[in-house]
Amino acid sequence: MAVVFQFVIAFRGGRVKSHAVISKMNENKLIEILKEVSNKVSLLNINEDEIKKLHQERSKHFVELLAQGFRDYYSNSNFKIFSKHFYGNREVFGINEYQYDILVCEIDSVISAKQQKKLPFIKETLWLVESEFARNTREAIKDFNKLVIGNSKYKLFIGPINSVNEAFINTLLPSAKSCNGQVYISLFSHPDSWSKENINFIIWKLNERWEKIYKCV
């Protein structure tokens, strides 16, 4: 079943955020969004007996909740957020997602050559987000490669907290340095533990090396 969310208009001080403010998300807002996602996924009640499918369902909902967090922030109609199970962009763009788990972009339009109709196009990519909860760096690198080839102001990779967090993220460091834009990585509790304990997460930003900016454990 498709996961469909409603759009929420974001306000600051009683007024809609300006284009300049909304296009530059600060780190505190990113942390706030990830906190909200961690709180919401901890409340998920998914009826699935097969462990693999349960983890897949949890991961799917995680991505859509994160995508909704971006939609709440980038609520201006000039911005669109694409994700696999959100159908709000399909009528205009003909698709739910591009090759990323989440793509946040600013759009514009051009007049078609023959019928003089408005054709939307992506003017600028603000966020590219990839998630991979497999506990091995081979799978992480595969998804991180997508961030390297994409052009975006900000990039976020979501992976699993594990017994070797520092080694895990340092394996991704060369790839991160090959990216354009500001790169973030966040490790979350693995979906197999979401019903057993609080969901923890850590966020780093790339600044020559990984710099830890938030820890909730």
Token digits for 187?
């490790």
**pTM: predicted TM-score of the whole model, two decimal places:** 0.87
- The answer to whether position 7 is within a domain reads no
Which residues contact residue 43 at a Cβ distance below 8 angstroms, ignoring those fewer than 6 apart?
Answer: none
- The answer to whether position 194 is within a domain reads yes
- The answer to whether position 175 is within a domain reads yes
Total domain count for the chain? 1
Poorest-confidence range of 90-99, 154-163, 179-188?
90-99
- The answer to whether position 29 is within a domain reads no
User: Which residue spans within 17-173 are E strands per DSSP?
Assistant: 79-83, 102-111, 118-131, 154-160
Token digits for 149?
């080839």
Res 20 pLDDT > 80? no
pLDDT tier for residue 136 given thresholds of 50, 70 and 90: very high
- The answer to whether position 140 is within a domain reads yes
Contact 200, 189 (CB under 8 A): yes
Token digits for 101?
């788990």
> Which residues form the domain of 160?
34-44+57-216
Chain centroid, CA 119 distance in Å:
26
Q: Quick one: average pLDDT of 143-149?
A: 97
Give CA–CA dist 20/36, Å, rounded: 24
pLDDT tier for residue 198 given thresholds of 50, 70 and 90: confident
Distances (CA, A) of 6 to 33, 68, 128: 16, 8, 21
- The answer to whether position 25 is within a domain reads no
Give CA–CA dist 124/126, Å, rounded: 6
- The answer to whether position 121 is within a domain reads yes
- The answer to whether position 9 is within a domain reads no
Nearest Cα to Cα of residue 59 among 199, 214, 206: 199
Contact 74, 22 (CB under 8 A): yes
Token digits for 14?
């009683």
Give the per-residue pLDDT at 2.
Answer: 36
Give CA–CA dist 215/217, Å, rounded: 6
